[in-house]
Amino acid sequence: MHEKHHVVVVGGGFGGLQLVNDLKGATVRVTLIDRRNHHLFQPLLYQVATTVLATSEIAWPIRHLYRDRPEVTTVLGEVTAVDTAIKTVSLANGQSASYDTLVLATGATHAYFGHDEWAAVAPGLKTLEDATTIRRRVLLAFEQAEVEDDSARRDALLTFTVIGAGPTGVELAGTIAEMAHKTLPGEFRRIDTRRARVVLVEAGPRILPAFSEDLSAYARKALEKLGVEVHTGTPVTDCTDAGVKIGDRFVPSRTLVWAAGVQASPAAKWLGIEADRAGRALVAEDLTAPGHPDVFVIGDTASVKQEDGKPVPGIAPAAKQQGAFVARVIRARLEGKSVPDVFRYRHQGSLATIGKRAAIIDFGRIKLKGALAWWIWGIAHIYFLIGTRSRFAVAWSWLWTYLSGQHSARLITQKETLRETG
Protein backbone atom coordinates (compact mmCIF):
# COMPACT_ATOMS: atom_id res chain seq x y z
CA MET A 1 0.00 0.00 0.00
CA HIS A 2 1.29 3.42 -0.89
CA GLU A 3 1.39 5.49 2.28
CA LYS A 4 0.05 9.01 2.16
CA HIS A 5 2.49 11.95 2.10
CA HIS A 6 3.65 12.46 5.67
CA VAL A 7 3.88 16.00 7.06
CA VAL A 8 5.70 16.28 10.37
CA VAL A 9 5.03 19.51 12.24
CA VAL A 10 7.16 20.41 15.24
CA GLY A 11 5.51 22.92 17.56
CA GLY A 12 1.84 23.43 18.44
CA GLY A 13 1.89 27.22 18.64
CA PHE A 14 -0.07 29.60 16.42
CA GLY A 15 1.89 28.74 13.25
CA GLY A 16 1.87 24.98 13.69
CA LEU A 17 -1.84 24.80 14.49
CA GLN A 18 -2.81 27.05 11.57
CA LEU A 19 -0.84 24.77 9.25
CA VAL A 20 -2.51 21.62 10.57
CA ASN A 21 -5.93 23.27 10.42
CA ASP A 22 -5.38 24.29 6.81
CA LEU A 23 -4.22 20.82 5.78
CA LYS A 24 -7.71 19.51 6.56
CA GLY A 25 -8.93 17.43 3.62
CA ALA A 26 -5.51 17.26 1.92
CA THR A 27 -4.18 13.80 1.02
CA VAL A 28 -1.62 13.79 3.81
CA ARG A 29 -0.88 12.15 7.13
CA VAL A 30 0.14 14.69 9.79
CA THR A 31 2.23 14.13 12.89
CA LEU A 32 2.25 17.09 15.27
CA ILE A 33 5.04 16.97 17.84
CA ASP A 34 5.22 19.31 20.84
CA ARG A 35 7.11 19.01 24.10
CA ARG A 36 4.05 20.36 25.95
CA ASN A 37 0.62 18.75 25.85
CA HIS A 38 -1.08 22.12 25.42
CA HIS A 39 -1.35 24.99 23.01
CA LEU A 40 -0.78 28.22 24.87
CA PHE A 41 -2.54 31.47 24.03
CA GLN A 42 0.59 33.51 24.74
CA PRO A 43 -0.89 37.00 24.19
CA LEU A 44 -2.85 36.57 27.44
CA LEU A 45 -0.10 34.87 29.43
CA TYR A 46 0.60 38.14 31.25
CA GLN A 47 -2.91 37.91 32.73
CA VAL A 48 -2.01 34.60 34.38
CA ALA A 49 1.17 36.21 35.73
CA THR A 50 -0.93 39.01 37.20
CA THR A 51 -3.69 36.80 38.71
CA VAL A 52 -6.52 37.81 36.37
CA LEU A 53 -6.91 34.49 34.54
CA ALA A 54 -6.40 30.85 35.52
CA THR A 55 -3.84 28.73 33.69
CA SER A 56 -6.50 26.50 32.14
CA GLU A 57 -8.31 29.48 30.64
CA ILE A 58 -5.52 30.11 28.13
CA ALA A 59 -4.23 26.59 27.41
CA TRP A 60 -5.86 23.58 25.75
CA PRO A 61 -4.67 20.03 25.13
CA ILE A 62 -3.43 19.91 21.55
CA ARG A 63 -4.69 16.40 20.87
CA HIS A 64 -8.19 17.43 21.86
CA LEU A 65 -8.21 20.00 19.04
CA TYR A 66 -7.66 17.22 16.47
CA ARG A 67 -9.84 14.48 17.95
CA ASP A 68 -12.02 14.53 14.81
CA ARG A 69 -9.06 14.40 12.38
CA PRO A 70 -7.99 10.73 12.36
CA GLU A 71 -5.15 11.52 9.95
CA VAL A 72 -3.56 13.79 12.60
CA THR A 73 -1.39 12.10 15.23
CA THR A 74 -0.32 14.19 18.22
CA VAL A 75 2.93 13.26 19.94
CA LEU A 76 4.16 14.64 23.25
CA GLY A 77 7.92 14.67 22.78
CA GLU A 78 11.00 16.81 22.47
CA VAL A 79 12.81 17.00 19.15
CA THR A 80 16.58 16.92 19.55
CA ALA A 81 17.85 16.68 15.97
CA VAL A 82 16.88 16.65 12.31
CA ASP A 83 18.63 14.49 9.72
CA THR A 84 17.75 16.00 6.35
CA ALA A 85 19.73 13.30 4.48
CA ILE A 86 17.42 10.50 5.62
CA LYS A 87 14.49 12.89 6.28
CA THR A 88 14.04 12.01 9.93
CA VAL A 89 13.56 13.90 13.21
CA SER A 90 14.90 12.42 16.44
CA LEU A 91 13.10 12.64 19.78
CA ALA A 92 14.59 12.80 23.27
CA ASN A 93 13.04 9.42 24.16
CA GLY A 94 15.16 7.72 21.47
CA GLN A 95 12.35 7.38 18.95
CA SER A 96 12.34 9.05 15.56
CA ALA A 97 9.87 10.03 12.86
CA SER A 98 10.39 10.03 9.08
CA TYR A 99 8.90 12.87 7.10
CA ASP A 100 8.13 13.69 3.52
CA THR A 101 7.67 17.34 4.43
CA LEU A 102 8.92 18.86 7.68
CA VAL A 103 7.67 22.11 9.22
CA LEU A 104 9.60 23.56 12.14
CA ALA A 105 7.44 25.95 14.16
CA THR A 106 9.33 25.74 17.41
CA GLY A 107 9.09 29.35 18.55
CA ALA A 108 11.40 31.36 20.73
CA THR A 109 12.30 31.91 24.33
CA HIS A 110 13.59 34.97 26.16
CA ALA A 111 17.21 36.04 25.88
CA TYR A 112 19.33 37.86 28.43
CA PHE A 113 21.89 39.35 26.02
CA GLY A 114 24.75 37.27 27.36
CA HIS A 115 23.64 37.61 31.00
CA ASP A 116 22.02 34.24 31.61
CA GLU A 117 22.70 34.68 35.31
CA TRP A 118 19.87 37.24 35.33
CA ALA A 119 17.34 34.53 34.50
CA ALA A 120 17.08 33.39 38.13
CA VAL A 121 16.22 36.86 39.46
CA ALA A 122 14.34 38.24 36.46
CA PRO A 123 12.13 35.48 35.05
CA GLY A 124 10.74 35.87 31.55
CA LEU A 125 7.23 35.02 30.42
CA LYS A 126 6.92 32.26 27.84
CA THR A 127 5.33 29.26 29.58
CA LEU A 128 2.58 28.60 32.12
CA GLU A 129 5.30 27.86 34.69
CA ASP A 130 6.89 31.24 33.97
CA ALA A 131 3.51 32.85 34.57
CA THR A 132 2.88 31.08 37.87
CA THR A 133 6.46 31.87 38.95
CA ILE A 134 5.93 35.59 38.34
CA ARG A 135 2.50 35.43 40.00
CA ARG A 136 4.03 33.79 43.06
CA ARG A 137 6.84 36.34 43.30
CA VAL A 138 4.55 39.35 42.93
CA LEU A 139 2.12 38.06 45.56
CA LEU A 140 4.93 37.00 47.92
CA ALA A 141 6.53 40.44 47.70
CA PHE A 142 3.36 42.04 49.09
CA GLU A 143 3.12 39.35 51.77
CA GLN A 144 6.73 39.81 52.85
CA ALA A 145 6.42 43.59 52.84
CA GLU A 146 3.46 43.25 55.23
CA VAL A 147 5.66 41.56 57.86
CA GLU A 148 8.90 43.50 57.19
CA ASP A 149 9.94 45.91 59.96
CA ASP A 150 12.82 47.60 58.12
CA SER A 151 11.53 50.42 55.94
CA ALA A 152 14.27 50.20 53.27
CA ARG A 153 13.70 46.51 52.82
CA ARG A 154 9.96 47.07 52.77
CA ASP A 155 10.35 49.66 50.02
CA ALA A 156 12.47 47.24 47.98
CA LEU A 157 9.79 44.57 48.40
CA LEU A 158 7.18 47.04 47.22
CA THR A 159 9.16 47.96 44.09
CA PHE A 160 8.35 45.92 40.99
CA THR A 161 10.52 46.31 37.91
CA VAL A 162 9.56 45.22 34.42
CA ILE A 163 12.41 45.23 31.90
CA GLY A 164 11.41 45.77 28.30
CA ALA A 165 8.49 47.91 27.09
CA GLY A 166 7.02 45.94 24.23
CA PRO A 167 3.35 44.93 24.57
CA THR A 168 4.10 42.24 27.19
CA GLY A 169 6.17 44.59 29.37
CA VAL A 170 3.58 47.35 29.15
CA GLU A 171 0.72 44.99 29.92
CA LEU A 172 2.58 43.47 32.89
CA ALA A 173 3.50 46.85 34.36
CA GLY A 174 -0.01 48.21 33.88
CA THR A 175 -1.68 45.20 35.50
CA ILE A 176 0.73 45.07 38.46
CA ALA A 177 0.03 48.76 39.06
CA GLU A 178 -3.70 48.13 38.89
CA MET A 179 -3.38 45.27 41.40
CA ALA A 180 -1.47 47.51 43.80
CA HIS A 181 -3.85 50.44 43.43
CA LYS A 182 -7.22 48.81 42.96
CA THR A 183 -7.32 45.11 43.89
CA LEU A 184 -5.21 44.82 47.03
CA PRO A 185 -5.83 47.98 49.11
CA GLY A 186 -7.81 47.24 52.24
CA GLU A 187 -6.51 43.70 52.57
CA PHE A 188 -3.21 44.53 54.26
CA ARG A 189 -2.95 46.02 57.75
CA ARG A 190 0.60 47.40 57.90
CA ILE A 191 1.43 48.38 54.32
CA ASP A 192 -0.45 50.60 51.90
CA THR A 193 -0.22 48.71 48.62
CA ARG A 194 -1.01 51.95 46.76
CA ARG A 195 2.48 53.11 47.69
CA ALA A 196 4.04 50.29 45.66
CA ARG A 197 6.37 51.43 42.86
CA VAL A 198 6.09 49.86 39.45
CA VAL A 199 9.12 50.65 37.28
CA LEU A 200 9.15 49.99 33.54
CA VAL A 201 12.58 50.14 31.90
CA GLU A 202 13.17 50.40 28.17
CA ALA A 203 16.59 50.75 26.58
CA GLY A 204 15.15 52.26 23.41
CA PRO A 205 13.95 55.86 23.10
CA ARG A 206 10.25 55.10 23.62
CA ILE A 207 7.86 52.40 24.77
CA LEU A 208 5.95 50.23 22.30
CA PRO A 209 8.24 51.01 19.35
CA ALA A 210 6.04 48.98 16.97
CA PHE A 211 3.36 51.69 17.32
CA SER A 212 3.27 55.21 15.97
CA GLU A 213 4.87 57.92 18.12
CA ASP A 214 1.60 59.49 19.21
CA LEU A 215 0.11 56.14 20.32
CA SER A 216 3.35 55.36 22.11
CA ALA A 217 3.18 58.75 23.88
CA TYR A 218 -0.48 58.12 24.81
CA ALA A 219 0.43 54.71 26.25
CA ARG A 220 3.18 56.26 28.33
CA LYS A 221 0.76 58.81 29.77
CA ALA A 222 -1.82 56.12 30.48
CA LEU A 223 0.81 54.05 32.30
CA GLU A 224 1.95 57.05 34.33
CA LYS A 225 -1.65 57.75 35.27
CA LEU A 226 -1.80 54.21 36.67
CA GLY A 227 1.29 55.03 38.75
CA VAL A 228 3.94 53.33 36.61
CA GLU A 229 7.37 55.02 36.46
CA VAL A 230 8.57 54.79 32.88
CA HIS A 231 12.32 54.95 32.15
CA THR A 232 13.34 55.08 28.49
CA GLY A 233 16.68 55.49 26.75
CA THR A 234 18.76 53.72 29.37
CA PRO A 235 19.55 50.01 29.36
CA VAL A 236 19.51 47.73 32.37
CA THR A 237 23.13 46.98 33.28
CA ASP A 238 22.64 44.53 36.14
CA CYS A 239 19.95 42.40 37.77
CA THR A 240 20.37 40.95 41.26
CA ASP A 241 18.02 39.68 43.92
CA ALA A 242 18.34 43.08 45.59
CA GLY A 243 17.40 45.16 42.59
CA VAL A 244 18.15 46.43 39.13
CA LYS A 245 20.80 48.78 37.78
CA ILE A 246 19.42 51.19 35.19
CA GLY A 247 22.45 52.74 33.51
CA ASP A 248 24.50 53.81 36.55
CA ARG A 249 21.62 54.06 38.97
CA PHE A 250 20.71 51.16 41.28
CA VAL A 251 17.02 50.77 42.09
CA PRO A 252 16.35 48.47 45.06
CA SER A 253 13.60 46.16 43.81
CA ARG A 254 12.91 42.62 44.96
CA THR A 255 10.70 41.58 42.08
CA LEU A 256 12.03 41.77 38.53
CA VAL A 257 10.32 40.56 35.38
CA TRP A 258 12.12 40.17 32.07
CA ALA A 259 10.17 41.21 28.97
CA ALA A 260 13.11 42.17 26.75
CA GLY A 261 15.13 40.06 24.26
CA VAL A 262 14.08 37.00 22.36
CA GLN A 263 16.13 33.95 21.41
CA ALA A 264 14.85 31.59 18.71
CA SER A 265 14.65 27.81 19.16
CA PRO A 266 17.59 25.77 17.76
CA ALA A 267 15.76 25.00 14.49
CA ALA A 268 18.54 26.63 12.41
CA LYS A 269 21.17 24.55 14.22
CA TRP A 270 19.24 21.32 13.64
CA LEU A 271 19.25 22.11 9.91
CA GLY A 272 22.77 23.48 9.78
CA ILE A 273 21.59 26.67 8.07
CA GLU A 274 22.40 30.32 8.69
CA ALA A 275 20.68 32.24 11.47
CA ASP A 276 20.42 35.88 12.48
CA ARG A 277 21.77 37.24 15.76
CA ALA A 278 18.68 36.07 17.66
CA GLY A 279 19.12 32.56 16.28
CA ARG A 280 16.26 32.79 13.80
CA ALA A 281 16.71 30.63 10.69
CA LEU A 282 17.27 32.65 7.50
CA VAL A 283 14.69 31.08 5.21
CA ALA A 284 13.98 31.49 1.50
CA GLU A 285 11.10 33.61 0.23
CA ASP A 286 8.84 30.56 0.22
CA LEU A 287 9.78 29.82 3.87
CA THR A 288 11.81 26.72 2.94
CA ALA A 289 15.21 26.16 4.50
CA PRO A 290 17.89 26.99 1.89
CA GLY A 291 18.89 23.77 0.15
CA HIS A 292 16.02 21.82 1.74
CA PRO A 293 12.87 22.30 -0.34
CA ASP A 294 10.99 19.81 1.87
CA VAL A 295 11.71 21.65 5.09
CA PHE A 296 9.85 24.80 6.12
CA VAL A 297 10.60 27.06 9.08
CA ILE A 298 7.83 29.37 10.29
CA GLY A 299 6.86 31.66 13.14
CA ASP A 300 9.17 33.11 15.78
CA THR A 301 12.01 30.75 14.91
CA ALA A 302 12.22 32.01 11.29
CA SER A 303 13.71 35.28 10.09
CA VAL A 304 11.55 36.63 7.25
CA LYS A 305 11.65 40.03 5.58
CA GLN A 306 8.68 42.09 4.46
CA GLU A 307 8.64 43.73 1.04
CA ASP A 308 10.00 46.95 2.53
CA GLY A 309 12.93 45.05 4.03
CA LYS A 310 11.64 45.25 7.60
CA PRO A 311 11.49 41.95 9.50
CA VAL A 312 8.12 40.24 9.86
CA PRO A 313 7.22 40.78 13.55
CA GLY A 314 7.21 37.89 16.01
CA ILE A 315 3.49 38.00 16.68
CA ALA A 316 0.67 35.48 16.47
CA PRO A 317 -0.94 36.77 13.23
CA ALA A 318 2.41 36.55 11.39
CA ALA A 319 2.93 32.94 12.51
CA LYS A 320 -0.61 32.06 11.47
CA GLN A 321 -0.15 33.60 8.01
CA GLN A 322 3.03 31.61 7.57
CA GLY A 323 1.31 28.40 8.63
CA ALA A 324 -1.50 29.09 6.16
CA PHE A 325 1.03 29.85 3.38
CA VAL A 326 2.95 26.61 3.93
CA ALA A 327 -0.31 24.63 3.92
CA ARG A 328 -1.10 26.17 0.50
CA VAL A 329 2.38 25.25 -0.79
CA ILE A 330 2.08 21.65 0.41
CA ARG A 331 -1.39 21.28 -1.11
CA ALA A 332 -0.29 22.80 -4.44
CA ARG A 333 2.75 20.53 -4.64
CA LEU A 334 0.67 17.42 -3.96
CA GLU A 335 -2.02 18.43 -6.42
CA GLY A 336 0.51 19.39 -9.11
CA LYS A 337 -0.85 22.92 -9.24
CA SER A 338 1.09 26.16 -9.48
CA VAL A 339 2.98 26.59 -6.23
CA PRO A 340 3.06 29.99 -4.48
CA ASP A 341 6.72 30.95 -4.24
CA VAL A 342 6.84 34.11 -2.13
CA PHE A 343 5.34 34.55 1.31
CA ARG A 344 3.85 38.03 1.69
CA TYR A 345 3.08 39.27 5.18
CA ARG A 346 -0.04 41.40 5.56
CA HIS A 347 0.14 43.45 8.74
CA GLN A 348 -3.37 43.61 10.15
CA GLY A 349 -2.56 45.98 12.96
CA SER A 350 -0.96 46.18 16.36
CA LEU A 351 -2.84 46.05 19.65
CA ALA A 352 -1.72 46.66 23.20
CA THR A 353 -3.64 47.22 26.39
CA ILE A 354 -2.43 49.39 29.25
CA GLY A 355 -5.03 48.96 31.94
CA LYS A 356 -8.76 49.04 32.50
CA ARG A 357 -10.34 50.98 29.67
CA ALA A 358 -7.08 52.03 28.04
CA ALA A 359 -5.58 50.41 24.97
CA ILE A 360 -4.00 51.42 21.68
CA ILE A 361 -4.65 50.03 18.23
CA ASP A 362 -2.56 50.83 15.16
CA PHE A 363 -4.22 49.68 11.93
CA GLY A 364 -1.88 51.84 9.85
CA ARG A 365 -4.21 54.56 8.61
CA ILE A 366 -6.68 54.06 11.44
CA LYS A 367 -5.32 54.61 14.92
CA LEU A 368 -7.41 54.20 18.06
CA LYS A 369 -6.74 54.81 21.72
CA GLY A 370 -8.63 54.81 25.01
CA ALA A 371 -11.83 53.03 26.00
CA LEU A 372 -13.01 52.12 22.49
CA ALA A 373 -9.63 50.57 21.69
CA TRP A 374 -9.80 48.67 24.97
CA TRP A 375 -13.17 47.14 24.12
CA ILE A 376 -11.96 46.19 20.64
CA TRP A 377 -8.84 44.63 22.17
CA GLY A 378 -10.95 42.54 24.57
CA ILE A 379 -13.43 41.40 21.94
CA ALA A 380 -10.63 40.53 19.49
CA HIS A 381 -8.85 38.42 22.09
CA ILE A 382 -11.97 36.58 23.15
CA TYR A 383 -12.77 35.98 19.49
CA PHE A 384 -9.37 34.44 18.85
CA LEU A 385 -9.43 32.17 21.89
CA ILE A 386 -9.71 28.61 20.69
CA GLY A 387 -12.52 26.51 22.12
CA THR A 388 -15.98 27.63 23.04
CA ARG A 389 -15.55 26.98 26.72
CA SER A 390 -12.47 29.16 27.09
CA ARG A 391 -14.15 32.02 25.31
CA PHE A 392 -16.96 32.01 27.83
CA ALA A 393 -14.67 31.34 30.78
CA VAL A 394 -12.34 34.20 29.93
CA ALA A 395 -15.23 36.53 29.14
CA TRP A 396 -16.70 35.66 32.52
CA SER A 397 -13.40 36.19 34.37
CA TRP A 398 -12.93 39.54 32.69
CA LEU A 399 -16.50 40.62 33.40
CA TRP A 400 -15.98 39.64 37.02
CA THR A 401 -12.73 41.61 37.22
CA TYR A 402 -14.30 44.56 35.40
CA LEU A 403 -17.31 44.80 37.69
CA SER A 404 -15.78 43.80 41.03
CA GLY A 405 -12.19 44.97 40.59
CA GLN A 406 -11.18 41.57 41.99
CA HIS A 407 -8.79 39.09 40.45
CA SER A 408 -9.79 35.46 40.51
CA ALA A 409 -6.49 33.57 40.53
CA ARG A 410 -4.45 35.07 43.36
CA LEU A 411 -2.64 31.88 44.25
CA ILE A 412 0.88 31.38 45.51
CA THR A 413 1.72 27.86 44.33
CA GLN A 414 4.75 25.66 43.70
CA LYS A 415 7.47 25.02 46.16
CA GLU A 416 9.87 27.92 46.00
CA THR A 417 10.26 28.70 49.66
CA LEU A 418 9.56 32.07 51.18
CA ARG A 419 12.58 34.17 50.35
CA GLU A 420 14.06 35.49 53.54
CA THR A 421 13.69 39.23 53.83
CA GLY A 422 17.16 39.60 55.35
Query: In the complex, which residues of this chain contact its own copies (CB under 8 A)?
Result: 36-38, 54-57, 59-61, 63-64, 66-68, 70, 73-78, 92-93, 95, 128-129, 132, 139-140, 143-144, 146-147, 186-190, 389-390, 392-393, 396-397, 400, 404, 406, 408-415, 418, 420-421
Closest approach, Cβ 387 to its own copies, in A, equals 9
**CA–CA separation, 9 and 31 (whole Å):** 6
Residues forming beta bridges with residue 91, ordered by sequence position: 79
Q: Which CB, 187 or 213, lies closer to its own copies?
A: 187
Instruction: Compute CA 252 distance to the chain's CA centroid, rounded to the nearest angstrom.
Output: 27
Q: Which CB, 39 or 231, lies closer to its own copies?
A: 39
Q: Which CB, 302 or 409, lies closer to its own copies?
A: 409
Which string of DSSP letters, residue by residue, matches 308-368? TSPBPPSSHHHHHHHHHHHHHHHHHHHHT-PPP---------EEEEEETTEEEEE-SS-EE
Closest approach, Cβ 66 to its own copies, in A, equals 8
Q: Which CB, 384 or 400, lies closer to its own copies?
A: 400
Closest approach, Cβ 146 to its own copies, in A, equals 7
**CA–CA separation, 134 and 107 (whole Å):** 21
Closest approach, Cβ 359 to its own copies, in A, equals 24
Closest approach, Cβ 186 to its own copies, in A, equals 5
**CA–CA separation, 128 and 314 (whole Å):** 19
3-state SS assignment for residue 258: strand
Whether 90 contacts 79, CB under 8 Å: yes
Closest approach, Cβ 324 to its own copies, in A, equals 24
CA geometry: angle at 211 spanning 206 and 217, to 5°?
50
Q: Which CB, 225 or 389, lies closer to its own copies?
A: 389
Closest approach, Cβ 398 to its own copies, in A, equals 12
Residue type at 200? Answer: L
For the annotated catalytic residues, the residue numbers are 171
Q: Which CB, 84 or 397, lies closer to its own copies?
A: 397
**CA–CA separation, 388 and 189 (whole Å):** 41
**CA–CA separation, 392 and 387 (whole Å):** 9
Cβ-based neighbour number of residue 99 at 10 Å: 20
Length of the chain as a residue count: 422
Whether 326 contacts 311, CB under 8 Å: no
Q: Which CB, 20 or 260, lies closer to its own copies?
A: 20
3-state SS assignment for residue 39: strand
Which among 117, 151, 154, 164 has a CA at the least distance from the CA of 254? 154
